[in-house]
A and B are shown apart, each in its own frame.
Chain A
Amino acid sequence: MDDATGSRDHPRPRVGCRRVTAILEPYTAHPYFAVELHFRRGTAGDPIGQEGLTHLAAELLMRGTRRQTRADFDATVEGLGAGIEVMAGRDDLAISADGLSRSMETLIDLVGEMLVEPRLDEEELERLKRQTIAEIAERQDSDEELAQHVFYQVLYGSNPFGRPTKGTRASLAGLTLSHLRERLPTLLARERLLIGASGDVSPARLESALRPWLERLPATSVPEAPSVTLPNTGQRRVVLIDKPERTQTQIWIGVPGPSVHHPDFLPLMIGNTVFGGTFTARLSREIREKRGWSYGANSYLFGLRDHGALCAHFYPATKDAVPALRLGLRLLERFAAQGVNRRELAFAKSYLVNGFPFRLESARKRLDERLRLELLGLSQSHLDTFVDRVGAVTLADVNRAIATHVRPDSARIVIVCTAKTLRKPIERLVGSAGLVQVHPFDVEWRHGQD
């Protein structure tokens, strides 16, 4: 095991196999461990018309190996008291496994077996496609999930990041085993692998267990890096997802934001804390506390490698939806135009600095933070310097970042509601500066549709 480049406080040993990076966060108080394998390639790389390809490929890994049927594989893993999950994200494919440390070697062998010797059974693929199509249909049953799903696609427009990760009924129908066989080696290349482990696990044990499997992964794969920029059209767009019998609405509002590498990201994070990041932030105070219009009213700043977004979410009753939307937009406009004041800045900085220890509270959380930095291409010192960097941000920095990136005139808005009640008042609210579109809840949103 080589020594790594990290500090003594945060050792970053590398597994001594073809220089795959492994980040370890040991915690030996409990006989339990977790390991994560992240391959830096995800669903954003699915070709047009083949949406869902990476998701299917990842899920099929879980459905048996050359040595074991799916049922045998599941019984073996779960018999150990362990679990394995795969998650095909937009820009990474993650395999996570956890269990009792006495079974670590056996569990890692099973993870290796599924990566290197997947069964890729035709019958299982067809079953998986049927099940995925059923899950897609079921999404419409949850207003919250439906709203989020469409919101992401509306926010990203025709960008690959907006493609539905699980695909569509049409795209899934066209995917075959040969598509998956072609896709898997490009996903599972060793050069794109990042490993993390936490709990009762030593570097030597982890390396010994992983090495034989890592050597059998493909070393490299062809480059594939979709460039991601979010559309900033200067026109407000509202999509009403029309669902009958709603007593409540789900409202999402989003604007494009900077990536985590942009110098404005941290100032905007502080600004978002003031806008909607806490229970006492502007959104919650005005929409929930003063008026009781929504159980929750929050905003989030998403930051990824090459783009970001600032999004607000609240869910008022149908009767309050129009005034709540009007107020939410007014708050966003005021935030963009006036920024934050000195008192709010001090409060937000105090909240972020004092809350920082929670990010390092447990071995699992420390690991998550360090993996996130690595996946985003940020240095490990980014975390260690967080408190100082927040302290150095000025009021001018925050308000400049807000003025530069928060463009309410380009807001993307998705509302799940019963449209016959709300369409006209929302059209009046948006006026000629925006576009209001109604989409039936039980019809799939088509990626990039206008």
Chain B
Amino acid sequence: MRLPSVRAPFSKTLDAVAKATGHRFTLEVEHAVGGELYARKLRLANGLTVLMIHDPHAPVFAYQTWYGVGSRHERSGKTGIAHLFEHLMFKATETMPEGTLDRLMERRGAQTNAATWCDWTYYYQVLPASRQNLELVARVEADRMRHLVLNEAQLESERDVVKNERRYRVDDDPDGRAGEALYALALGREHPYGWPTIGWMEDIEAITLADCMAFYRTFYSPGNAVIVVVGSVADKHVLTSIARHYGHIAREELPSESAPPQPCIDGRPEESLTLPIAAERVLTAWVGPSLADPDAVALEVALEVLFGGESGRIQRLLVNELELCTQVGASSTPFRYEGLIELSLSTKVGVRGEQAEAPALAALAEFAAAGPSTQELEKARNQVEAGYYRSLGTANALASKLGVYEATLGDFREHDRLVREVRDVTTESARAVVERWMTRPGRATIRVRASDVAA
């Protein structure tokens, strides 16, 4: 990677931080973000990565910690451990009894939470901008990176919470049930992207305290973490606090990264679920490109033309003209490795899924043959551009945008690839990408039937 030259004032900041803390950051990247802001990526000797943006407009700052571990890193029989462990990270450390972390943050008005997905887990705090708050959050996050303590009672209580979360998001939710079934069918229950991030219920029930501590020691270390700080806090203070609290933590060896098996859908597997619902659903999936794939931008443009807003071709056809569906949508998984392209159709009450599926697939085939019109292409370009600026609304949103790309691909600069490359997408490249990915013979389908319709 060729690095931009380090500007003199900032190298002085690095010197000052090193002098004050005994830990030196290496500046790796500087990059303009969203027009007038500027992001820097730095690294400590123990491998900890820091991304920071000084945004003087916000009276707050976001502090996010991204770990390069998600459900993809689990193994069969232990699914759900990454997510369950995320819950446990809010319990106790050697210096903070249970409940202290949340109380410390709430007393300062903080917004805190966390999320787990296939490729990553992240924790965030958003606080009013002050040096004291910055120092506090760096101390707390560094503490729970290496000094978490857990007991059986905490695990059991949080296991029950997670089981309830699963009931809420999956077991009693028709869309959650269908989505889970689709990934298992298309990729296989044993594929790291095929099992649900929340885990199979029987696996959640079987996770032990020893499993959790082993998971923690393996994946929660500076070399597997990215800290993203965005807001009106001074660069020098950010780096000083982080160096002071993380600099002494030893570098740990991480398990070697192995790519999951190449997804492959043989033929046209189908499954049906029968649920007490009013509206049937059809979910269809093809193997889809990775987030870094050269086709990813053209695919986003094509999906915008087909499904975006009220004027998307398939939206207009199925919802407004034929009145077969109440909702349609499609998306490509933003994963490090190849995943899925999902098409979802929610039909109007009384309409069978097959009735909506046929014209949707015909419209896809037509697009794969002729591509978008010039107007459709321009619409998609403008929507992508506006969507980018719309997504930068708060310090936490901007930090998340950078964090997800750094954690997934190792390069936050990819966060605006869509905007940078959208004008390069042509009618032909949008057409070709749909032909290449969405007219393949391999296609998995889940049909969700209404109890009375299916009877």
Is B278's CB under 8 angstroms from A137's CB?
Answer: yes
CB distance from A97 to the nearest CB of B (A): 11
Stretch at the interface among A43-51, A304-312, A331-339, A347-355: A347-355
Are B379 and A347 touching (Cβ within 8 A)?
no
* Residue interface mask A266-305, B partner, CB < 8 A = 1: 0000000000001110000100111111110000000000
Return chain A residues, CB-CB under 8 Å to B234. none
Selected from A30, A71, A83, A144, the residue in CB contact (under 8 A) with B34 is A30
Contacts A347-B106, A355-B110 given; does A141 touch B59 at CB 8 Å: no
**Given known contacts A137-B349, A248-B167, A127 and B390 CB-to-CB distance under 8 angstroms:** no
Q: Does A100 contact B (CB under 8 A)?
A: yes
Contacting residues, chain A, for B156 (C-beta < 8 A): 292
**A99 contacts the other chain (Cβ, under 8 Å)?**
yes
Q: A127-B320, A138-B346 are in contact. Are A31 and B383 (CB under 8 A)?
A: no
Which of B107, B160, B384 meets A354, CB within 8 Å? B107
Shortest CB–CB separation between residue B420 and chain A, in angstroms?
15
Q: Does A140 contact B (CB under 8 A)?
A: yes
Contact indicator B276/A243 (Cβ below 8 Å)? yes
Q: B168, A291: Cβ atoms under 8 Å?
A: no
Chain A residues contacting B387 (CB-CB under 8 Å) are 81
Partner of A280, one of B37, B99, B378: B99
Contacts of B275 in A (CB 8 A): 245
A211 within 8 A of B: no
Whether B109 pairs with A293 at a CB distance below 8 angstroms is no
Interface check B242, CB cutoff 8 A: no
> For window 411-455 of chain B, which residues contact chain A by CB distance below 8 Å?
451
CB-defined contacts of B159 to chain A, threshold 8 Å: 292
B318 to chain A, nearest CB (A): 12
Q: Are A350 and B348 neighbours in the complex by a CB distance under 8 Å?
A: no
Contact A295–B164 (Cβ < 8 Å):
yes
A315 interface hit (Cβ, 8 Å): yes
Nearest neighbor of B395 in chain A, beta-carbon distance: A361
Q: Is A74 an interface residue (CB 8 A)?
A: yes
Chain A proximity of B386: nearest CB distance (Å): 4
A138 lies within 8 A of B326 (CB): yes
B385 at the interface (CB under 8 A from A): yes
Q: Which residue of A lies closest to B375 (CB)?
A: A79
A361 and B394 contact, CB distance less than 8 A: yes
| A90 sits at the interface (CB 8 A) | no
CB of B383, distance to nearest CB on chain A (Å): 5
Knowing A32-B389, A81-B382, A292-B158, the reply to whether A244 touches B106 (Cβ < 8 A) is no
Shortest Cβ distance from B429 into chain A, in angstroms? 20
Q: Which residues 356-407 of A sit at the B interface, judged by CB distance below 8 A?
A: 356-358, 360-362, 364-365
Partner of B378, one of A79, A99, A143, A278: A79
B189 CB to nearest A CB, Å: 20
Q: Which residue of B lies closest to A103 (CB)?
A: B382
- A366 to chain B: closest CB distance in Å? 10
CB distance from A284 to the nearest CB of B (A): 9
A442 to B156, CA, bound (A): 36
Closest B residue, CB atoms, query A294:
B164
> Is B128 among interface residues, defined by CB-CB distance under 8 A?
yes
Q: For the complex, is B161 an interface residue (Cβ under 8 Å from A)?
A: yes
Fill in one digit per residue for B330-354: 1 if any A CB lies within 8 Å of its CB, else 0.
0000000000000000101100000
Q: Mark A134-162, 1 if CB is under 8 A from B, else 0.
A: 11011011111000000000000000000
Task: Give the top 10 A-B pairs by smallest Cβ distance, nearest first.
Answer: A292-B160, A81-B382, A354-B109, A355-B109, A32-B389, A81-B386, A248-B167, A295-B165, A74-B310, A74-B311
A-B contact pairs, 29 of them (CB 8 A): A29-B57, A30-B34, A30-B389, A30-B392, A32-B386, A78-B309, A81-B385, A100-B386, A127-B320, A134-B279, A135-B326, A138-B326, A142-B173, A143-B172, A245-B276, A247-B167, A248-B171, A278-B102, A285-B99, A289-B99, A289-B157, A292-B156, A292-B158, A316-B164, A347-B103, A356-B109, A361-B58, A362-B58, A364-B393
